[in-house]
Structure 1
Amino acid sequence: METTSRLAAQGTVSDSPAPDGQRPLAAAQAGTPPRRAVDGYLRATFPWYGLDEAFTGPRWLMQVGIAADGTVQHGATGHGDEPSIRSEAGCAERERFAAVITVAASPVRGSGDGTGVLDATTVSSAAWLAGSGLLAHTWPGQLDHSLRDDWLDQQTETAFELADDLHGPAWSVLSLPVDGVPTSFHYRESDFGWVLAGSTRAGVHIGAYGRGMSAYGLGFSAVQDLGAYAS
């Protein structure tokens, strides 16, 4: 990919990009101590984004991605129902959630250990994280459990290719407010939910994914108080 690293949506220290075939981790880790989660967000040198004040439902922290040198590179905030994996039982069909991913805009740069070069982060990076994040909470009901890894690897590769072709036929353009300013996003829908990605005037890229909650009425704003997500 020209400008997109395969950034792993992880809550632990990790190099980016992630190797080919690596499955994205679930965006929300059960049992993660709230204080530890907040600490990762507080270490970021860029503003975090979430849904704006028009959204009045539950808010919760997800995970941050941290490079080997300790730099926070990206992270996500959750809104609505905490998603479960979409399974045969069909309970996930009633979930309403949106996850908002913030990615620090970075040029091509050296890796944390000084042994290589990391790709620049772009709006494609946000699209890739959003696409893989949605897949982490998806499991077609007719699919046998033993085949899910193969299915997820295949779908993850497809999400990566789609993120590298934001002007292709799979994407449309959707205008949504960011800090009150109309902003163009790349948007696509699938059987499992929706994904969008765009860039902000604040120097970060925003990705988002969701299910059961229409993307058309959403707005984004910088998070002023992480406490609203950590409670």
Structure 2
Amino acid sequence: METVSRAAAQADTADAGRKVDGYLLAAFPWYGLDEAFTGPRWLMRVGAAADGTVEHGATGHGEEPTIKVETPKDERFTVVVTVAGRPVRRSGDGTGVLDATSVSTAAWLAGSGLLAHTWPSTMDRALRQDWLDQQTALAWELADDLDGEGWSELLLPVDGEPTPFRYRESAYGWVLAGSAGGGEEGVHIGAYGRGMSAYGLGFGAIKDLAAYEG
């Protein structure tokens, strides 16, 4: 988890050129909602390691969320996070070891992603960073304890196959995380959303990123 959280703070590959270019550099399949979802789809960003290797990214579905949550129930969106499944490995420069990714990695990225689009309407703006730091630390702890009481199990289709996910709700939305595929092509999937029930969702490998370019 630590490695990917650092990667999330790296310069965003999608900031330069076409946003889709960063996604095309990934050596793993991207996931989004399956064909049952017929609403708008959009790209968010990718996260890369120091050597430029794409580690994770997110795709959006529904209405693009805003940071101001005056009426959060009016927002309807689901964001799907894809994380490359990687074992413990040497860093690109050979000077150290990078942590493995896991379902907890996907849970952490999804939880922090939901927080990034959340602003309690009763909170002064000057206090938001303190609140965000506190809630992010809590999201980290929860992601490290997926078998704890804060999570329940939810069975959802991934590429048509029933797949177990860890799921939790909060005042600001919901978060879930699981894995898909196996071997070198395996990935971890996280998701977060508001206004769209997680119970009716299905996930599928994205065949054509053009559907997400607006």
The TM tier, using the shorter chain, reads: over 0.9
What is the TM-score normalised by the length of structure 2?
Answer: 0.92
Q: How many pairs are equivalent?
A: 209
Query: Which stretch shifts more, 159-168 or 109-118?
Result: 109-118
1:96-175 equivalent positions in 2, closer than 5 A: 96-175=76-155
Cα separation, 1, equivalents of 2:131 and 2:90 = 33
Q: Against the structure 1 CA distance between its residues 188 and 95, is the aligned structure 2 distance closer, same or farther, given a 3 Å change threshold?
A: same
Are 2:30 and 1:5 aligned? no
Q: Assess if the C-alpha contact under 8 Å between 1:84 and 1:92 holds in 2.
A: no
The DSSP-based 3-state class of the residue aligned with 1:216 is helix
Q: Against the structure 1 CA distance between its residues 67 and 164, is the aligned structure 2 distance closer, same or farther, given a 3 Å change threshold?
A: same
1:208 to 170, 187, 191: 191
The DSSP-based 3-state class of the residue aligned with 2:208 is coil
2:66 to 84, 88, 93: 84
Report the residue type matching 1:59 in the other structure: R
| Equivalent in the alignment of 2:54 | 72
1:225 to 188, 208, 212: 208
Cα separation, 1, equivalents of 2:147 and 2:40 = 34
Cα separation, 1, equivalents of 2:65 and 2:29 = 24
Q: Which has the higher helix share?
A: 2
The CA deviation at 1:209 is: 0.3
Report the residue type matching 1:216 in the other structure: Y
Report the residue type matching 1:191 in the other structure: A
The DSSP-based 3-state class of the residue aligned with 2:207 is coil
1:172-191 equivalent positions in 2, closer than 5 A: 172-191=152-171
Task: Please list every run of 5 or more consecutive structure 1 residues that lacks an aligned counterpart in the other structure.
Answer: 15-28
Report the residue type matching 2:130 in the other structure: D
Cα separation, 2, equivalents of 1:6 and 1:93 = 34
Q: Assess if the C-alpha contact under 8 Å between 1:76 and 1:100 holds in 2.
A: yes
Cα separation, 2, equivalents of 1:62 and 1:170 = 28
| Equivalent in the alignment of 2:31 | 49
Report the residue type matching 1:86 in the other structure: K
Cα separation, 1, equivalents of 2:153 and 2:172 = 19
The DSSP-based 3-state class of the residue aligned with 1:174 is strand
Percent identity among equivalent residues? Answer: 69
Report the residue type matching 1:116 in the other structure: G
2:22 to 36, 40, 60: 40
Q: Assess if the C-alpha contact under 8 Å between 1:10 and 1:63 holds in 2.
A: no
**Deviating 4+ runs (over 4 angstroms):** none
Q: Assess if the C-alpha contact under 8 Å between 2:180 and 2:189 holds in 1.
A: yes
Cα separation, 2, equivalents of 1:220 and 1:49 = 7
Task: Please list every run of 5 or more consecutive structure 2 residues that lacks an aligned counterpart in the other structure.
Answer: none
The DSSP-based 3-state class of the residue aligned with 1:63 is strand
The CA deviation at 1:115 is: 3.1
The CA deviation at 1:37 is: 1.1
The CA deviation at 1:36 is: 2.2
Are 2:35 and 1:61 aligned? no
The CA deviation at 1:158 is: 0.3
The CA deviation at 1:143 is: 1.0
Query: Which stretch shifts more, 216-225 or 134-143?
Result: 134-143
What is the TM-score normalised by the length of structure 1?
Answer: 0.86
The CA deviation at 1:10 is: 5.3
